[in-house]
Structure 1
């Protein structure tokens, strides 16, 4: 088992996940990094620009800006970020972390 470097509260569906004792569950390392990435994307406001944008060129520009935002995280290997659109309001993100392997997460705009 790897050492716990990043510990966070587990958030699913925009709310804390509680265990059977009604206490918040914890997540660590790769899952915590994935959560941090999703929160940084949502807090940046860049992803909401995709909702109204119809131009494929401008949509690609927004996705590039999102990739650069994620690559700015020191825990992510530069050049490993890939963001794809599942729908107008859902993105899939994959990237490699420096110490914990690949991370794959969904971003609901």
Structure 2
């Protein structure tokens, strides 16, 4: 039995199976999706991509890490955000019950 269940959202749209029923994600995938949506909804990602000053970029990354750290399903101190390409970031963290997660933004 899954502890966390959510609807799968890809590209800001609900994913449906062949019978037009919503696809569900659970536990680790649900937490990862929640983190991605939390960051997107905060507006910090837009600010980070638009920012040119490296010091302000680092400040914005720290704000996003603190936002992610506030999720009680994660082990405190494990959230990290790393740039992978221009305008893309990798969020890594460890969940309390389900292990390591990675989210690309």
Query: TM above 0.5, one fold?
Result: yes
Is residue 19 of structure 2 the alignment partner of residue 12 of structure 1? no
More helix by share: 2
Query: 2 CA distance for matches of 1:12 and 1:57?
Result: 32
- In the alignment, structure 2 segments of 5+ residues that lack a partner are none
Aligned-pair distance for 1:64? Answer: 0.6
C-alpha displacement of 1:88: 3.7
- What do the CA deviations read for 1:3-26 (whole angstroms, capped 9, x no partner)? 301000011122111111111100
- Tell me the matched-pair count: 105
Unaligned runs of 5+ in 1: none
TM-score, structure 1 as length reference: 0.90
* Alignment RMSD: 1.1
How does the TM-score come out when normalised to structure 2? Answer: 0.93
Tell me what 2:45 maps to.
47
| 1:99 paired residue number | 97
